[in-house]
A and B are shown apart, each in its own frame.
Chain A
C-alpha cells in the first residue's frame, strides 16, 4: 500500500458519492430523531406539569427506562425484537421503506426524549413560583401564563443541557450502523473495506463528525448568548 493520500478517497467519485449519501442519511436520522424527541419531551413535560398526578409515575418510568438502558440495546430491541413482532403488513411496508433508518429514528428519538424532558423539567422548575402567581394575578390563564411567562424562562434555563444532549444525539446517530442504517459511519466502514485506506477514511469520518458537532455546539453557544437576559438588556 502506498503512503498517505487523501485524494485517493476524495478524488474517487464513487467514494465521494458514498460519503455524501452517508452524511445525508446521518442528518435525516438526526433531524428526525431530534424532532421526535423534542415533541415527545414537550408532551412528557406537559403530563408532568399538569395537576393530574396519575401520569407522573408513568413519565418517571419512561424516563428511568430510557436513561438506564444503553442506547444500543434499545436500538437492538427495536430493530431485532419489536420489528419481528409487528403484523406482516406493517413489517413489509417498513422493510420496503428503509426500516433501518426508521427504527434508528424511533429508537434514538424515544431515548433522547427522556433526556430532553428532564432538561426542560429542571429548567421549568428553576423558574420561581412567584412568576406563575404574578402572571395569574395579571390576568393570564394557566395556559397563557405557561406560554408567555414560564416556558420562555424555563427553556432559557434548560438551554445548556439541551445543547449538550443535542450534540450527544448527533454522536449517537452513529449507533444506527449496528442495525444497518446506511449513515456516515456505515459509509466509512464500506469505503474502508473497498479501498483499504483505513487511516485516510477514518480521518475523513472523524473530521466530519467533529466538524458537525462543533457546528451544533456553536449554534448552541449563539442561542445561549442571545437568550442571556443580561446581554439583551445591554444591547
Chain B
C-alpha cells in the first residue's frame, strides 16, 4: 500500500502541485494556497472596518455588521458558496470563473469571523488605552490608528494565523463548484486511477495535515511569545506563564 502511494505521488505530483497549469488553469496545492492567502489578505482590512463598526456608538453602523456576523455564523459555508455561485454571475453579468466565486465567498465569510477576532483583541486591551489616547489629544480615529489597532493587531497575530489555517481548510469546499484546488486535483487523480481511492485521499489528507499542522505550530509558538511579552516577562522561562489561548482555540 505504501508502494502504491509512492507511485501515485511519483506519477501525479505535478498535477497535485499546480494542476494543469501551462495547458490549463492553475490548480492543485498552489491554487489552494493562493486562494487562501488572497482571501485572508482581502478579508483583513474589511474585518478591521467591521470590528470598528461593531464597536462604534452609532446603531446605524453597528446593526448591519452585527446582523452579518450572526448570519455568517448561522449559515453553513456550503450554502454561502451556492449563493455566490448563483448571485455573482447574475450581478456582474459576466461568466465568472469558479475561483472568483470561491474567493468572494471566502472574503465575506472570513471577514465576518476575523472581525470577531479583531474585536476581541480591541476589547481585551481595556478602555484605559482609548481614554488615555483621547486625553492626550488624539481624535477617535487617530487613537484607533496609532494606539489601539497597532497593539490589538499585534496581539492578534496568532489568531489571524489560525484563521488562515481554517481558510485553507475551507477552500476544500470549493470542490462542490469545481474550483481547481488540491482536493479537485486529488479527485481527478482518483478518477484516472479508479482502483486506489483510499491511497489517493490519504495522500490528500497527509498534505493538508502537513501544511495546517506547521502553521498551527508556529501560531502556538508566537502566541506563547506574545503572551510572555504582554505580561512583561520577556526574560522569564516559558513554563511560568500559561498562555491564554481563548480566541484561537475557539476557531
Query: Which A residues are within 8 Å of any B CB, using their own CB?
Result: 64-65, 67-74, 76-77, 80-82, 84-85, 118-119, 122, 160-161, 164, 167, 171-175, 177-178, 185, 188-189, 198-199, 202, 205-206, 209-210, 213-214, 217
Contact = CB atoms under 8 A, between A and B. Distances in A.
Contact of A84 (B172, B187, B198): B198
A161 B170 CA distance: 20
Contacts of A65: 205, 209
B99 interface: no
Interface in B149-205: 165, 168-170, 172-173, 175-176, 183, 187, 190, 197-202, 204-205
Contact of A73 (B78, B208, B249): B208
Contacts of A175: 76, 78, 173
Contacts of B216: 67-68
B211 to A, nearest CB: 8
20 contacts: A64-B209, A64-B213, A65-B209, A67-B216, A69-B205, A69-B208, A74-B205, A76-B187, A77-B202, A81-B197, A81-B202, A84-B197, A118-B249, A164-B250, A167-B74, A174-B76, A198-B86, A202-B79, A209-B74, A214-B74
B135 interface: no
Interface extent on B, as a size class? 35 or more
Q: Interface centre among B74, B165, B212, B245, by most A CB within 10 Å?
A: B74
Given A72-B183, A202-B86, A209 B175 contact: no
B83 A202 contact: yes
A120 to B, nearest CB: 12
Contacts, number: 114
Given A64-B213, A70-B208, A164-B250, A76 B201 contact: yes
Contacts of B73: 167, 213
A184 to B, nearest CB: 9
Nearest to A176: B78
Contact of A80 (B79, B169, B201): B201
Given A80-B190, A82-B198, 12 more contacts: A68-B165, A68-B209, A73-B205, A77-B204, A80-B198, A81-B201, A119-B249, A161-B250, A172-B76, A175-B173, A198-B86, A206-B75
A171 B205 contact: no
A213 B77 CA distance: 13
A73 B185 CA distance: 13
A44 to B, nearest CB: 16
A171 B209 CA distance: 22
A73 B71 contact: no
A167 B113 CA distance: 14
Contacts of A167: 73-74
Nearest to B208: A69
Contacts of B82: 185, 188-189, 202
A77 B205 contact: yes
